Structure 1
Amino acid sequence: MPDLKVRRVTVSSAAAPIATLGIDFGTTNTVMALSLPGQEAQVVTLQGPAGGLSGFRSALGFQIIPAADGSAPERIISAGPWAVETYLEDPLDTRFIQSFKNFAASAAFSETVIDGRRYRFEDLLAVFMEQVRQHAGEALQNLPPRVIVGRPVTFAGGNPNEPLALERYQAAFTQLGFGDIRYAYEPVGAAFYFARSLEKAATVLVADFGGGTSDFSIIRFEPTLDGLRSTPLGRAGVGIAGDAFDYRIIDNLVSPELGKGTTYTAMGKTLPVPQRYFTAFAKWEQLALLRASRDMKDIRGLVRNADEPEKMERLVEVLDENYGYALYQSVSALKIALSSQDEAEFVFAQGDVDIRHTVSRDTFEGWIAPELAQIEGAVDLALERAGMAPEGIDRVFLTGGTSFVPAVRRMFVDRFSEERIESGSEFESIASGLALIGQETDLDMWSETQNAA
């Protein structure tokens, strides 16, 4: 049984007498918090391979182990960091799925087949959350009567179907056995967490940056004798965030060293190396799928016919040796370094592949300029919907890992000034706030059921 630890957040005195679980199901990580009547909200620490953690990677691993006697193969399901470990140890016999939140609102995604069994999105979510529950041990041995699930302002995808996403969420959490299931915008959850520190009335803009979405909400908070009164004013979101920044780094630093933009010769003609080989780098777990695809034979053939064969040799090694996870660790290290330094060294050294580049912060910001423009547009839209100018915002609360990127923070400093900006508990504020919403007397003001959505 894991050693459970909690972080504490004060609950409003106006709490309704019902235990609530807040779930921040994120593209990259999932965090949960519990609130109890008259007590404090608790961020649940789950058990991982290296000990307790509050952020549980939103990933599933289906390991298929063939039986020696020819009987049905054994299927072992893992989640979070356990799924990552399983995949790295046995990538060919493990179906690894992460960031599947990105498909919640996609009508094009109906199901996936794993070892002959069909899994819809809601099935994947239910399986994942059941794994999370098991790693929570005693904290979730008995389900609380109410769950409030975070949802983005704008779901990821080119043409997101919001009602479909909420139907799928509802089906998943119903499978898990929850009775009172409600949904609240993720930045609103963060706002409730932040509002507990307010000492006077304030209009607050909450910017929540996840792995796949960036969401913004504007809320007016006013202390009263009966507690904190809150009024929603405007919201907006965009289906891009930190994952897009990662891909920009790979596309500019790594892919050209693996053959992107080069040519090969076939039947006397000079042809470009297909771009589709490099789009797989948008998600590191897709590289194993590329290795197992028909394209791999063609990629090996390009080593003989490429005008720069050493680059194609690197690509083959990256795929054969399953370097994807190590690559994304190098990308993360660069992003972190550029958050505090004007210049940093990108280092990806695995086997015979050694890619090193010095990257300035200005260069990185140039790569992510299109994403920054979309984020900026969503902030403007939230202000427009609230009928406010930047001067009307008293406080800005930044949450989520991408809020550490200097260009992102500068966007808010330039608009609202440094003294109005705050941050903290970047990875836990949403779950804590969702749990706190569960203690509000007017739940319909801040959350909704699937039928009302």
Structure 2
Amino acid sequence: MNGEPPAHALGLDFGTTNTVVALGDGAGGSELVEFADGTGAVFRSALCFWEEERAWNGIACEAGPWAIDEYLQSPLDSRFVQSFKTVAASASFERALIFGKPYRFEDFGRLFLQRLVRHAGGALDERPRRVVVGRPVEWAGARPDPELARRRYDLMLGEFGVELHYVYEPLGAAYSYASRLSEPATVLVADFGGGTTDFSVVRVGEPGATRRCEPLASAGVGIAGDRFDRRIVDRLVLPMLGKGGRYRSMGKVLEIPGGWFAEFADWSRLALMRNRRTLDELRRLQRDALDPEPIGRMIALIEHEQGFPLYDAVGRVKRALSAEDRAEFRFEGGGVAIAAEVRREEFEGWIAEDLARIEAALERALAAAAVGPEGIDRVFLTGGTSLVPAVRALFERRFGGERIAAGGELTSIAHGLALIGGEPDPAAWAA
């Protein structure tokens, strides 16, 4: 759509872990939306539901950091939903039951955006004419369906903006980074989110050029920070909860089935295990286990709703290993205490397979752009996982440290999307 850029364009970076919103001023600038109570510009992509007679349909809801507060106040009487972006392209996900009521992906999305607007202190009360929404290059999931994700996003965002444009998330970061450059360059942007890692190669022209940025190619893979967390849980936590242990069954000694530990891939799913049938089965497993103590720890974590603090401890040790060669993993809750030292080289071994797949996606982006490493002038890393030393080392090895830049790890995409919204024709950037 050509014509004059709107005075009010909005950039929406709806992420697996966090969501950030920026408003364009129509004059080549943008400003991040700050949320109430001093929470800043980063809004956690989470929902919490609880039963309340006065609420619509008898179920009340909160989002963002307020969702976490509600859940921690009453974990046994609430239902917590996070990372729901990861099912956007999944045909196997149709709906989730919350207190017996069905919720589709777009229902979660609309509720989330409504609460986000409410907590924006009036900054989002005016419906923007143009909304530029980030999307991953490759959707998360085993067999993602991009067209299904697009339909679900359209339904989720139908009340949010008049004119919708979808742009690859790393292109948003590229546009943001280009605003800092004073000379032409070929730029590789690597965006490390919670659920996906995406790459874009962009040619940046002279300041003041009619079209400052030209996308050359993009590629991605459904691996990012959440997968690294799961590696820590799998290698460090689950062996203390019985994984790899053995039990007696019909006169034989067998290894405890791995299916018991699948729910630990996502801490919020632990709440679903808190039902009589599952707990009764776990107690039978504990009775038959050669070493019953680890299974007892698993039961205690489930009964006392310790998923959130457990994964919070995982996140802390991962961040600590970004700054130190070793860190202490420490968790206490629900009568369970776990402490262990983790060396950075151990962690890097755990994620080596994931790093190889990330590097393969990088190769695909360079090949599609017909640009070798020597043809890249600048590398811009964004997203929280870009701070992991093994991730940065991958790029230093390929491009040299002098070409690498970072900054605005959680906000650069929204900033760039809002700037694209100020272009006369943002459809030129559409995914």
Q: TM-score range by the shorter chain?
A: over 0.9
Q: 4+ residue stretches of structure 1 with deviation over 4 A?
A: 224-228
2:39 corresponds in structure 1 to: 52
Deviation of 1:429 (Å) = 0.2
Quickly say closer, same or farther: Cα 1:39–1:234, change in 2 above 3 A. closer
Matched, 1:83 2:67: yes
Distance 1:61 1:282 in 2: 19
Q: TM-score, normalised by structure 2?
A: 0.95
- Matching residue's letter, 1:216: F
Distance 2:334 2:111 in 1: 36
Matched, 1:384 2:373: no
Deviation of 1:227 (Å) = 5.2
Matched, 1:141 2:125: yes
1:277 corresponds in structure 2 to: 260
Distance 2:193 2:134 in 1: 12
1:370 corresponds in structure 2 to: 353
Distance 2:57 2:209 in 1: 60
1:296 corresponds in structure 2 to: 279
For 1:136-185, what per-residue CA distance to the aligned partner results, in whole angstroms no more than 9, with x for missing partners? 121011111111110000010111100110111111111x2421011111
1:42 to 28, 31, 34: 31
Distance 1:240 1:153 in 2: 12
1:5 corresponds in structure 2 to: none
Q: Would the aligned equivalents of 1:133 and 1:140 in 2 still touch at CA under 8 Å?
A: yes
1:219 corresponds in structure 2 to: 202
Distance 2:174 2:28 in 1: 20
For 1:163-212, what per-residue CA distance to the aligned partner results, in whole angstroms no more than 9, with x for missing partners? 110111111111x2421011111000000110011110000000000000
Q: Would the aligned equivalents of 1:64 and 1:73 in 2 still touch at CA under 8 Å?
A: no
1:137 alignment partner, SS class: coil
Matched, 1:311 2:294: yes
Matched, 1:199 2:199: no
Distance 1:231 1:331 in 2: 39
Deviation of 1:17 (Å) = 3.7
Distance 2:241 2:71 in 1: 23
Q: Would the aligned equivalents of 2:4 and 2:424 in 1 still touch at CA under 8 Å?
A: yes
Distance 1:33 1:323 in 2: 34
- Listed as ranges, the gaps of 5+ residues in structure 2 are none
1:173 corresponds in structure 2 to: 157
1:438 corresponds in structure 2 to: 421
- Matching residue's letter, 1:107: A
- Matching residue's letter, 2:221: V
1:99 corresponds in structure 2 to: 83
- Matching residue's letter, 2:58: E
1:7 corresponds in structure 2 to: none
Matched, 1:33 2:17: no
- Matching residue's letter, 2:26: P
1:126 to 110, 117, 120: 110
Distance 1:407 1:293 in 2: 43
For 1:201-224, what per-residue CA distance to the aligned partner results, in whole angstroms no more than 9, with x for missing partners? 000000000000000000000115
Greater CA deviation, 177-186 or 376-385?
177-186
- Matching residue's letter, 1:40: G
Alignment of 1:240-259 (within 5 A): 240-259=223-242
- Matching residue's letter, 1:62: F
Alignment of 1:104-119 (within 5 A): 104-119=88-103
- Matching residue's letter, 1:131: R
Quickly say closer, same or farther: Cα 1:232–1:31, change in 2 above 3 A. same
- Matching residue's letter, 1:404: L
Q: Would the aligned equivalents of 1:205 and 1:216 in 2 still touch at CA under 8 Å?
A: yes
CA RMSD of aligned residues (A): 1.9
1:161 to 136, 145, 160: 145
Greater CA deviation, 146-155 or 437-446?
437-446
Quickly say closer, same or farther: Cα 1:106–1:23, change in 2 above 3 A. same
1:155 alignment partner, SS class: coil
Deviation of 1:236 (Å) = 0.2
Distance 2:100 2:357 in 1: 41
Q: Would the aligned equivalents of 2:35 and 2:41 in 1 still touch at CA under 8 Å?
A: yes
Distance 1:375 1:87 in 2: 34
Quickly say closer, same or farther: Cα 1:203–1:299, change in 2 above 3 A. same
For 1:414-442, what per-residue CA distance to the aligned partner results, in whole angstroms no more than 9, with x for missing partners? 00100000000100000000000011123
1:188 corresponds in structure 2 to: 171
Quickly say closer, same or farther: Cα 1:273–1:103, change in 2 above 3 A. same
Distance 1:205 1:216 in 2: 7
- Listed as ranges, the gaps of 5+ residues in structure 1 are 1-13, 449-453
Q: TM-score, normalised by structure 1?
A: 0.91
Deviation of 1:230 (Å) = 1.5
1:63 corresponds in structure 2 to: 50
Alignment of 1:2-13 (within 5 A): none
2:327 alignment partner, SS class: strand
Matched, 1:416 2:399: yes
Q: Calculate percent identity across the aligned residue pairs.
A: 49
Quickly say closer, same or farther: Cα 1:15–1:65, change in 2 above 3 A. same
Quickly say closer, same or farther: Cα 1:224–1:84, change in 2 above 3 A. closer
Matched, 1:361 2:361: no
Greater CA deviation, 380-389 or 350-359?
350-359
Distance 1:39 1:239 in 2: 33
Greater CA deviation, 436-445 or 213-222?
436-445
- Matching residue's letter, 1:16: P
- Matching residue's letter, 2:45: S
Q: Would the aligned equivalents of 1:245 and 1:368 in 2 still touch at CA under 8 Å?
A: yes
2:61 alignment partner, SS class: strand
Distance 1:224 1:40 in 2: 14
